[in-house]
A and B are shown apart, each in its own frame.
Chain A
Amino acid sequence: MGRIRQQGPQPMIRDAANAAQAAKAGPAVSVRGVDMDFGAGPLAVADAGFDLARGRFLTILGPSGSGKTTLLRMIAGFQTPTRGEIFINGEPVSKVAPHQRAIGMVFQKLALFPHLTAAQNVAFPLKMRRFDARGIPARVEQFLDLVRLGGLGGRRIHELSGGQQQRVAIARALVFQPDLLLLDEPLAALDRKLREEMQLEFRRIQRELGVTTINVTHDQREALVMSDEVIVMEAGRIQQNARPVDLYRDPANAFVANFIGVTSFLPGRVAPGGLECGGILCPGTPRQALAAGTPARGAIRAEQIRMAADGAALAGLDFRLQGQVRDAIFEGERQLYEVVLPALGGIAVQVYHHDASDFALTAPGQTVTVGWNRRDMILFPAAVP
């Protein structure tokens, strides 16, 4: 893509990063059995644990209030876990004050210093960390170039656009070459185009510097696009920790299956070869061994259900049945259909359809045939009420 301009490696940064990497082995960050109890209500974070290898990009994904920020702030040192321990480079950090941790952070609202210029903002961590004063201007210049703000260093923060402010915040977080970079939804406030541009920008810079990064978001697309690893959180608990592909293909539970992508659920009981739903055997595969007769839910993604006006077109599938279109949403390159299946007791499933020549199908009440393959429907034990 044209936007990702090829930039020569930055020798000084590379060498320092490599030396630091060689000096330390083991995970860059370890979180062990961490709880956060604010006193009121359930735990904000409950029994969180994960390891993150050096140089990796991890995203913590979850709905609002799931404890993402709290977890990140504990790693930054702004909050102390009520239980458990966090290790950075193998050292426990619960007794280390935030300003003594070598962590760069980009805040959700950026938190740039409004009374300083862009360059002074970037120089701030170097001054506070007592870098050699003579080297600071050159270093600041180098990092402003890295985020493509060369020449704008003299501007006040309010004289910069939103995207430019983002870049100042990134430069400020990275300029002292932290062991760890934390991002708390810094892109959430941007419009979509700029957000996607900045996602690629983050990725480029992160790869260039090789800095271990933890990013927080509730945008599943951002998580899948940017990350080496994704942690899905819900109600303070880690639901799954996996590579983006595995998260998508092999969700650990119904929550993750529902949270990533557009997923329909069929209620029923486990039967040999699938799920018995409304007296019909729907082919599916349990994620873990489930005894026949166990109440279960079958999860299937909208893009894995095929749809056609003529059932014969779906002859190759493991399973087919008829339904009626209830609603159709035009999303441009694809359409999202809601199809009611009378044979399964009137359950509705959501179906992505990519064939733009089939617009006749969109009429509500239109009879269509849908179908899927056995491996595409995953069975999870039904949530105990």
Chain B
Amino acid sequence: MNQSRAQRWVLGFFVLLALVMLSAPTVVVMGASVSAGRMIAFPPEGFSLQWYGKILAASDLRQAFGRTLVVALICTAVALPVGTLAGIALAKFRLRFAGAVQVYLLLPFTVPLIGSGIGMMLAFGKMGILGQLWPVGIACAVINLPFMIWAVTASAAALDPDLELAAANCGAGRVQTFLSVTLPAVTPGIITGSLLMFILAMNEFLVSLLLVDARIVTLPVQIYNSIRSIITPDLAAISVVFIVMAALAIALLDWLVGLDIFLKSK
């Protein structure tokens, strides 16, 4: 590299700025969560893990966390087969409705979540299934599915079509070819997409807010409800739990497929 010194300084400055800006909220919330004081504050007043103890003891938080896990698992379980097949189909075949599918893939960026949330609230209400957890999982799957499809499509598009012909030439029928060649090739995309779906469903707030009632609040909704009363450092502690889960997911991803693949699969 033949960069001049000034160029390196400028580049370094902006990288540093970006890092600080991206990590500042995380740092603040982590600091606040170990505060010894009674109010949420940064920098923290002293050090204590009391708030972690408190959220562990709070049964309503524990139950909300459990429900959130169930929602995330249902969402992932629904999105995994649907997103995998849709992603492969999209990458391999010239679909008749390709245009419509493209629009659908852009939906998460165009339609505000409140819109899709209200739509689903009305639909589920008509069907009389509100007040249960599984419709929330399905709703999360529906609104986040494009991310899963993207992850799989990126893997499937990189698959050499000759590989499938080679499998056929080796005597593999369609199903065997799919299982022994296509599926292994898109596995990184499936893992990436599934973890993404899981995390997104864990964090999903708005749609959950519209679909749950007081008996089945999920964790993000529970947090929101608490904020309306008073803001205590236990909320910061819960946020840290979320951050840790996301970090675990990324570590898992790195271990399973390597982060470089994830970063390349748009």
Q: Which A positions have Cβ atoms within 8 angstroms of B? A: 76-78, 97-100, 103-105, 107-109, 111-115, 124-125, 128-129, 172-173, 176
* Chain B residues closer than 8 Å to A114, beta-carbon distance: 185
**Bound state CA distance, A100 and B174, in angstroms?**
11
Between-chain CB contacts (< 8 Å), 29 pairs: A76-B165, A77-B168, A78-B165, A78-B168, A98-B165, A99-B167, A99-B169, A99-B171, A99-B177, A100-B171, A103-B169, A104-B169, A105-B166, A107-B166, A111-B162, A111-B165, A111-B166, A112-B166, A113-B163, A113-B166, A113-B181, A114-B185, A125-B170, A125-B171, A128-B170, A129-B170, A129-B171, A172-B170, A173-B169
Closest partner residue, chain B, to A129 (CB atom): B171
- The answer to the question of B260 belonging to the interface, with a C-beta cut-off of 8 Å to chain A, is no
CB interface residues, B 152-166, toward A, < 8 Å: 160, 162-163, 165-166
A98 and B162: CB pair below 8 A?
A: no
B169-191, CB < 8 A from A = 169-173, 176-177, 180-181, 184-185
Chain B residue numbers with a CB within 8 Å of A125 are: 170-171
B253 nearest CB across to chain A (Å): 18
- B163: nearest residue on chain A (CB-CB)? A111
**Are B181 and A128 in touch, CB under 8 angstroms?**
no
| 7 additional contacts (CB under 8 A) given A111-B163, A113-B184 | A76-B165, A98-B165, A105-B166, A105-B169, A107-B162, A124-B180, A129-B170
Task: Tell me if A109 and B169 are in contact (CB < 8 A).
Answer: no
Q: Determine how close the nearest CB of chain B comes to the CB of A88; give it in whole angstroms.
A: 14
- Which of A76, A99, A109 is close to B172, meaning CB atoms less than 8 Å apart? A99
Q: Is the CB of A99 within 8 A of B160?
A: no
Residues of chain A with a CB closer than 8 A to B184's CB: 113, 115
Q: Is the CB of B170 within 8 A of A109?
A: no
- A102 — nearest CB in chain B belongs to which residue? B171
How many angstroms from the CA of A97 to the CA of B174 in the assembled complex?
10
Q: Are A109 and B162 within 8 A (Cβ)?
A: yes
A291 CB to nearest chain B CB (Å): 51
A76 and B169 contacting across the interface, CB-CB below 8 Å: yes
State the 4 A-B residue pairs at the shortest beta-carbon distance, nearest first. A128-B171, A111-B166, A125-B170, A111-B162
* A128→B176 CA distance, assembly (Å): 8
Q: How many residues of B contact A (CB 8 A)?
A: 18
For A112, what are the chain B residues with a Cβ–Cβ distance below 8 Å? 166
Chain A proximity of B250: nearest CB distance (Å): 23
How far does the alpha carbon of A113 sit from the alpha carbon of B172 in the complex, in Å?
13
User: Counting chain A CB atoms within 10 Å of each CB, which of B170, B171, B185 scores highest?
Assistant: B170
Q: Report the minimal beta-carbon distance from A156 to chain B, rounded to whole angstroms.
A: 13
Check if B185 sits within 8 Å of A115, measured CB to CB: yes
Complex Cα gap A107–B173 (Å) = 19
B170 contacts across to A, CB distance below 8 A: 99, 124-125, 128-129, 172, 176
Contacting residues, chain B, for A105 (C-beta < 8 A): 166, 169
Q: Which residue of chain B lies nearest to A101 when distances are taken between CB atoms in the complex?
A: B169
Q: How far is the CB of A94 from chain B (nearest CB, A)?
A: 16
Judging by beta carbons under 8 Å apart, are B168 and A99 in contact?
yes
Q: How far is the CB of B106 from chain A (nearest CB, A)?
A: 31
Once the chains are docked, how many angstroms separate the CA of A124 from the CA of B185? 16
Contacts of A172 in B (CB 8 A): 170
Considering the chains assembled together, what is the distance between the CA atoms of A128 and B165 in angstroms?
A: 14
CB neighbours (8 Å) of B166 from chain A are 105, 107, 111-113
Q: Which residue of B lies closest to A100 (CB)?
A: B171
Cα A111 to Cα B160 in complex, Å, equals: 8
Chain A hits for B171, CB < 8 A = 99-100, 125, 128-129, 176
* A140 shortest CB reach to chain B, Å: 13
Contacts of A113 in B (CB 8 A): 163, 166-167, 180-181, 184
A166 to chain B: closest CB distance in Å? 14
Q: A173 vs B166: C-alpha distance in the bound complex, in angstroms?
A: 9
Q: Which residues of chain A are within 8 angstroms of B169 by Cβ–Cβ distance?
A: 76, 98-99, 103-105, 173
How far does the alpha carbon of A325 sit from the alpha carbon of B160 in the complex, in Å?
51
CA distance A105 to B169 in the complex (A): 7
| Chain B positions within 8 Å of A98 at CB level | 165, 168-169
Q: How far is the CA of A125 from the CA of B163 in the complex (A)?
A: 13
Q: How far is the CA of A172 from the CA of B180 in the complex (A)?
A: 15
A99 touching B173 by the CB < 8 A rule?
Answer: yes
Residue of A whose beta carbon sits closest to that of B181: A113
Distance in Å from the Cβ of A371 to the closest Cβ of chain B? 52
> Which residues in A have their C-beta under 8 angstroms from that of B165?
76, 78, 98, 107, 111
CA of A125 to CA of B169, assembled, Å: 8
Contacts of B167 in A (CB 8 A): 99, 113, 124, 128
Tell me the minimal C-beta distance from A184 to chain B in angstroms: 9
Q: Which residue of B lies closest to A98 (CB)?
A: B168
Complex Cα gap A240–B236 (Å)? 81
Give the shortest distance, in Å, between A101 (CB) and chain B (any CB): 8
Distance of A129 Cα from B181 Cα, bound (Å) = 16
Q: Which residues of B contact A100 (CB under 8 A)?
A: 171
Measured CB to CB, the closest approach of chain B to A341, in angstroms, equals 49
A128 x B163 contact (CB < 8 A): no
| Chain B residues, CB < 8 A from A108 | 162
CA A124 to CA B179, docked complex, whole Å: 13
A168, chain B: closest CB distance, angstroms: 12
